[in-house]
């Protein structure tokens, strides 16, 4: 049985009540996306230390799934009336064919080569190279499957720079992929922290799946201390706001690796951190940037 997928812009203050009303009006599902994703106006939904949690993005897109013969206009009108907001009049409707959703989802995620010796392999795939370091990771609710340029950039840096025996902090660990990769690449002690409990749980599960030992926790549970390497793959605004916090976690002579930054934002991020770090030239992948800088001084 096919379905109808309805897409339209919605004001952030109206998004949640309208979503609830749409479900009551018969929608099979409602999801919201950041209409500014991938632009300078992209907004993190979850706050970071020093950055209050945003209620929703300033501009949202609603994606509504309806049954094949549902009256779209009537459903939107009923939901809008219940939510007490104007009826959406500009929307698009697409037919979604009946499919094997599990197979379709799996078919979209093939093994990802990071380097000749490092791969990310979904659990339903055979490893293309059994001699390589193969990270087992499936798409999930936490960010970081290796398909996004920012994650690939960080993984390549780890692959190129880890010599073995380092201590590492993955700040904003998401799925735990960077922490897991660091462990497989020889880091001696790896911690991961995230403000999202679901991400912490996903990271622990993924570490167990890959048979590695790493410690994952919420920010308030992280013990004091400095690391040889701190990696933070988040977004520009949180990275700028947390500069003193992240800089304080890097020991003298250590590395700070930052990503989640658009190419045009690189200079402003480096400017915020320049009192603590000397940066290498930025690495760029599909318009996204990774910054890597050393903290002057000798390791104690």
Residue-level pLDDT at 292: 98
Closest CA to 188 of 166, 161, 210: 166
pLDDT in tens, 180-218: 999 999 999 999 999 989 889 999 999 999 999 999 999
pLDDT in tens, 74-90: 999 999 999 888 898 89
pLDDT in tens, 11-21: 877 888 888 89
Whole-angstrom distance, CA of residue 129 vs CA of residue 29: 40
Residue 235 — pLDDT band, cuts 50, 70, 90?
confident
Residue 194 burial (10 A CB sphere; 0-12, 13-18, 19+): buried
Mean pLDDT of 45-51: 44
Phi, psi of 227 (to 5 degrees): -130, 160
- Which CATH superfamily includes the segment(s) 3-98? ACT domain (3.30.70.260)
Sequence-distant (6+) residues with CB within 8 A of 65 are 3, 4, 5, 6, 27, 28, 29, 30, 96
Whole-angstrom distance, CA of residue 43 vs CA of residue 287: 17
Whole-angstrom distance, CA of residue 25 vs CA of residue 248: 51
Residue-level pLDDT at 45: 45
Residue-level pLDDT at 172: 94
Strand bridging mode 215-217 / 189-193: parallel
Residue 50 — pLDDT band, cuts 50, 70, 90?
very low
Architecture in CATH for domain 150-294? 3-Layer(aba) Sandwich (3.40)
Residue-level pLDDT at 124: 79
Task: For residue 210, give both structure tokens.
Answer: 């890959």
> Residue 53 pLDDT > 50, yes or no?
no
Whole-angstrom distance, CA of residue 126 vs CA of residue 60: 38
> Residue 286 pLDDT > 60, yes or no?
yes
Residue-level pLDDT at 255: 98
Q: Domain-by-domain residue ranges, the chain?
A: 3-98, 150-294
**Least confident range of 13-27, 33-47, 258-272:** 33-47
Residue with structure tokens 């930052």?
Answer: 258
Q: What angle do CA 45, 50, 53 make, to 5 degrees?
A: 25
Whole-angstrom distance, CA of residue 118 vs CA of residue 273: 30
**Least confident range of 52-61, 68-77, 215-224, 291-300:** 52-61
0.75 exceeded by pTM? no
> Residue 43 pLDDT > 80, yes or no?
no
Closest CA to 256 of 292, 296, 284: 292
List, in sequence order, every residue forming a beta bridge with 119; answer none if it has no partner.
113, 134
Helix, strand or coil for residue 258?
strand
> Residue 145 pLDDT > 80, yes or no?
no
**Least confident range of 94-98, 162-166, 167-171:** 94-98
DSSP for 169-186 reads EEES-TTSHHHHHHHHTT
Whole-angstrom distance, CA of residue 250 vs CA of residue 103: 43
Beta-sheet strand order (sheet of 29-34):
29-34, 59-67, 3-11, 92-96
Residue with structure tokens 């922290």?
Answer: 193
Q: Do domains 3-98 and 150-294 have the same CATH topology?
A: no
């Amino acid at each position: 049985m096919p379905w109808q997928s309805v897409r339209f812009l919605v004001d952030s203050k109206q998004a949640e009540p309208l979503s609830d009303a749409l479900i009551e009006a018969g929608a099979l599902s409602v999801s919201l996306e950041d209409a500014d994703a991938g632009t300078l106006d992209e907004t993190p939904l979850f706050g970071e230390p020093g950055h209050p949690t945003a209620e929703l993005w300033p501009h949202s897109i609603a994606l509504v799934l309806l049954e094949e013969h549902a009256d779209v206009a009537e459903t939107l009108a009923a939901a809008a009336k219940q939510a007490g907001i104007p009826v959406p009049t500009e929307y698009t409707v697409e037919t979604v064919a009946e499919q094997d959703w599990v197979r379709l989802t799996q078919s979209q995620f093939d093994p990802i080569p990071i380097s000749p010796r490092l791969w990310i392999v979904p659990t339903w795939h055979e490893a293309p190279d059994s001699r390589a370091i193969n990270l087992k990771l499936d798409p999930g609710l936490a960010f970081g499957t290796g398909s996004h340029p920012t994650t690939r950039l960080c993984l390549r840096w780890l692959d190129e720079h880890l010599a073995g025996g380092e201590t590492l902090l993955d700040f904003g660990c998401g799925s735990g992929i960077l922490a897991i990769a660091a462990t497989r690449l020889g880091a001696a002690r790896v911690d991961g922290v995230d403000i999202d409990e679901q991400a912490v749980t996903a990271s622990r599960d993924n570490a167990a799946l890959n048979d590695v030992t790493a410690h994952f926790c919420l920010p308030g549970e992280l013990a004091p201390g400095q690391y040889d390497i701190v990696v933070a793959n988040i977004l520009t605004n949180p990275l700028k706001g947390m500069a003193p916090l992240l800089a304080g976690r890097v020991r003298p002579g250590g590395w700070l690796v930052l990503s989640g930054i658009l190419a045009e934002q690189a200079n402003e991020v480096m400017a915020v951190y320049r009192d603590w770090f000397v940066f290498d030239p930025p690495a760029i992948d599909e318009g996204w940037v990774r910054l890597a800088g050393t903290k002057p001084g000798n390791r104690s």
